Structure 1
Amino acid sequence: MCKQRTIKHTISISGKGLHTGAHVTMTFKPAPVNHGYVFQRTDVEGRPKIPALVDQVIDTSRGTTLAHQGVKVHTVEHTLVALAGAEIDNVLIELDGPEPPAMDGSAKFFTQALMDAGIQEQDAFREVYAIREAISYEEPGRKVSLSVLPAEQFQAQVFIDFDSNGFKSQSASLEQLQAFSREFADSRTFCFLHEIEPLLQAGLIKGGSLNSAVVIADRQLSGLEIQRLQKLFKKTDIQIRDGGVLNQEGFRYPNEPARHKLLDLIGDLALIGVPIRGKVVASRPGHKANVELARKIRSVIKQERIRKKFQQVDKQGIIFDINAIQQILPHRYPFLLVDKIIEFSERKIVGIKNVTINEPFFQGHFPGNPIMPGVLQLESMAQVGGILLLNTIENPQTVWVYIAAIDKARFKRPVVPGDTIRFELELVNLRKSICEMKGKATVDGQLVCSANMLASIIPKDKL
């Protein structure tokens, strides 16, 4: 296991933001163990902090924007990839403006600054999440596909193509993270010439220039068009170079666009909050898709953390056994009406109740014709739903969960001794202390009951 790392010394870097055009100074500061990456807006009253986590993402238009309590930081991906590529775990990132400086459109200068600051090993082990099974995100209509697969170390492979004349398909591969600084950090952001005016009209790239991005002309330009570009970029030496590049330097690598897409991907995946061990394969990635994959991976990690907190013994096909359930729910015999949880995700849960003749309610409901009361079916469903709320309640022992409303309850067939009820609940809406769930119960694949439920979460110290 590796130790966590931070930087030895504070270091600053200044420039103009790509999209906002604001002049900004960004300062990297050492941070304690388990701090992670946190941005701090020193130009805003109270100097608010914004954790660099996927939960804080509010926009992915040509860059990744974070926000916390109304305070934003734009275009964070190049900063984060420099930290992730240097395998640094804990840093405070101060900004006196709304986004990091664009510099040359790559992560080169950020990476160099971090190396100049020096790396300090810390007295705590780094948490690395090993991918156990494939996690994917797709947008079939846009031919976007991202997957992360089990692997011995972090690796990434990117494939890109565009509906653009003259731009060939490209790919880039990173076999080990240690190669990032020398092979990928200096790959610059890029855009096609036909995108520039719409981006300006959208209020973006206010700080953009041929010094901070690669601009690719995907068609032949007339003399008048070149003159207009000379005025737009305030340069007199604009001409189309190999690959359609307008920048005087040209491409740094034949596959520089693909390399930069891989750079962006790693930066966005840093929002997971912990490094991952797995291979990412991405076809036509972008910030939106990158962030959605990061969101799915973070959700899986969260579920596993919750599971390990309560489930002491691994059992195949079981998320929570009865011993774990008794740690989560306050109910006890004869009113604990769920035996195990077999599926558990951020918005869905599946629980099992084995119905036997030993249930005490069969003594009176009904003699000679034992049927599980419908109200107890709903109670069992509600208990499964209470476990689903682990996603929103860090310490379930500190709250009570009460049913506030039941709507559209339907009972389709009797439940009798020997039946195994499968309860499936989906989180529909969550508003502070009110949770809305939709549930159904089946026996042998046949629907026995369904209902919509509203639950109220009340802290025990508020009663």
Structure 2
Amino acid sequence: MIKQKTLKDSFSLSGKGLHTGLDLTVTFNPASENYGYKIQRIDLEGKPIIDAIADNVIDTTRGTVLANKNGDRVSTIEHGMAALYALGIDNCHIEVNGPEFPILNGSSEFYVQEIEKVGIEELNAVKDYYIIKSKIEVRDEKTGSSIIVLPDEDFSLNVLVSYDDSLIIPNQYATLEDMNKFKDEIANSRTFVFVREIEPLLSAGLIKGGDLDNAIVIYERKMEQDKFDKLADVMGVPHMDANLLGYINHDPLVWPNECARHKLLDVIGDLALIGKPIRGRIIATRPGHTINNKFARLMRKEIRLHDIQAPTYNCNIPPVMDINRIRELLPHRYPFQLVDKVIEIGANYIVGVKNVTSNEPFFQGHFPEEPVMPGVLQVEAMAQVGGLLVLNSIEEPEKYSTYFMKIDGVKFRQKVVPGDTLIFKVELMTPIRRGIATMKGYVFVGEKISCEAEFMAQIVKNK
């Protein structure tokens, strides 16, 4: 069971803003469990807070720009967010004294270094992954961009960068198979810009703080020498031969495919705005902040539609509690033993299974012409699973039983019929106190919830 994480201490980074050219300081602070990512503009009156979620992205022209309902904005957040997400930080309160994060060297390198310096602290809450169970895809036919996510046991990311008319980077690939390798393989990849884009960006009031210390500049289309000289003056570099195409850098490339690696970094930074870490394989073709945000918004919609995910059930994996162990803990016997096995158990949750067959005795009298499992028995089965969770937490559990005290919020969403396999997930809502356990339970058939309820139970020693 993986727990949520935050920073052990605060850290600050200072530098100029890529687009504003302002001197800026951003401070990353620890936050409590389930806090998520929030950014506070401490330079504005009232020090407004902006939730760092994909729904709050208002512009993706040359970076990711967030705003709250009052129009308070913050931009160029993606490199810092990528470092948080990649290093497993779930909760962080960020303060910045201006309209954007400092660009630093154009990568996530310094953010990663500072996170490692202050350390990472584990919280009590469980990390809530969203598990990809079917293909999800978003495309932009005009740009040829697409992002696809497929089911996988862990997180991985593949990126293709393609510029059809570029002689320098016509095609580049980058792959991250293990998020633990982000620090060494991705974090130091710098942002890049084409020489032909510089003049339009300056005319739009952007990249006022851009220079060769915070970006890779790519000269891939020949232009007249006079025009090239003027751009060199703008960039603050010596005049160069306009006939020589290539990279214009103070420092050499860190990687031959550094541009693709930086695009991968940007994808991770924008995925951080989904609000949950995901488990799946992402394939991004010609990604950019616009398609990244479309994908992140789509994922947030998917999560809202499937807020409670069914546990993964692999019938080939041996149970953690078989029927014999269940009989040792529960006093129930035929026809009232309603749990066949337990497939997963943690400190505050449990997952159980029941196979519903046509031979169940209750089908003889409960709609025999159209057999339906009684809802009260679904709740009873869920409670038995909860009882196993509670009893598993105490010494000599065979000497105790659990009894219902209260049931609340019961909902039945679909019928349970012969042939269904019920998956129960029951979680403690609060720690067990004085022998009283409060739990929330769900019954799944496939990916759909058939029943849910909250209930309270008491642990009583057997006579």
TM range (shorter): 0.5 to 0.7
Q: 1:243 to 1:154 in 2, by over 3 A?
A: farther
Partner residue, 1:283: 285
Partner residue, 1:262: 264
Which amino acid letter does the alignment assign opposite residue 160 of structure 1? Answer: V
Contact 1:18–1:205 (CA under 8 A) maintained in structure 2: yes
Counterpart secondary structure, 1:5? strand
CA distance in 2, matches of 1:210, 1:301: 41
Which amino acid letter does the alignment assign opposite residue 98 of structure 2? Answer: G
Q: 1:225: how far off?
A: 3.8
Contact 1:63–1:287 (CA under 8 A) maintained in structure 2: yes
Which amino acid letter does the alignment assign opposite residue 10 of structure 1? Answer: S
Partner residue, 1:6: 6
CA distance in 1, matches of 2:236, 2:197: 18
Cα shift readout 1:335-393 (whole Å, capped 9, x = no counterpart): xxxx9799xxxxxxxxxxxxxxxxxxxxxxxxxxxxxxxxxxxxxxxxxxxxxxxxxxx
- Contiguous gaps of at least 5 residues in structure 1: 316-321, 324-338, 343-463
Q: How does 1:144-155 map to 2 (within 5 A)?
A: 144-155=145-156
Contact 2:7–2:120 (CA under 8 A) maintained in structure 1: yes
Partner residue, 2:250: 248
Partner residue, 1:134: 135
Partner residue, 2:276: 274
Q: How does 1:104-115 map to 2 (within 5 A)?
A: 104-115=105-116
Which amino acid letter does the alignment assign opposite residue 165 of structure 2? Answer: S
Partner residue, 2:63: 63
Structure 1 runs (4+) deviating above 6 angstroms are 239-243, 339-342
Partner residue, 1:205: 207
CA distance in 2, matches of 1:98, 1:7: 24
Partner residue, 2:118: 117
Which amino acid letter does the alignment assign opposite residue 12 of structure 2? Answer: S
Which amino acid letter does the alignment assign opposite residue 43 of structure 2? Answer: D
Contact 2:6–2:30 (CA under 8 A) maintained in structure 1: yes
Q: 1:307: how far off?
A: 8.4
Which amino acid letter does the alignment assign opposite residue 216 of structure 1? Answer: I
Partner residue, 2:191: 189
Q: 1:250: how far off?
A: 3.0
Q: 1:236 to 1:314 in 2, by over 3 A?
A: farther
Q: 1:242 to 1:76 in 2, by over 3 A?
A: farther
Q: 1:73 to 1:61 in 2, by over 3 A?
A: same
Partner residue, 2:342: none
Contact 1:238–1:248 (CA under 8 A) maintained in structure 2: no
- Contiguous gaps of at least 5 residues in structure 2: 311-352, 356-373, 376-411, 416-463
Partner residue, 1:43: 43
Partner residue, 2:77: 76
Contact 2:229–2:239 (CA under 8 A) maintained in structure 1: no
Q: 1:200: how far off?
A: 1.0
Partner residue, 1:169: 171
Contact 2:196–2:221 (CA under 8 A) maintained in structure 1: no
Partner residue, 2:450: none
Q: 1:235: how far off?
A: 2.3
CA distance in 1, matches of 2:205, 2:280: 37
Give the TM-score, by structure 1 length: 0.65
Q: 1:33 to 1:179 in 2, by over 3 A?
A: same
CA distance in 2, matches of 1:110, 1:72: 21
Which amino acid letter does the alignment assign opposite residue 17 of structure 1? Answer: G
Partner residue, 1:302: 304
CA distance in 2, matches of 1:294, 1:282: 13
Q: 1:223: how far off?
A: 4.1
Q: 1:102 to 1:241 in 2, by over 3 A?
A: farther
Q: 1:240: how far off?
A: 8.1
Q: 1:205 to 1:130 in 2, by over 3 A?
A: same
Q: 1:168 to 1:243 in 2, by over 3 A?
A: farther
CA distance in 2, matches of 1:88, 1:36: 9
Partner residue, 2:442: none
Contact 1:31–1:91 (CA under 8 A) maintained in structure 2: yes
Q: 1:230: how far off?
A: 2.9
Q: 1:163: how far off?
A: 3.2
Q: 1:164: how far off?
A: 2.5
Q: 1:221: how far off?
A: 4.8
Which amino acid letter does the alignment assign opposite residue 107 of structure 1? Answer: S
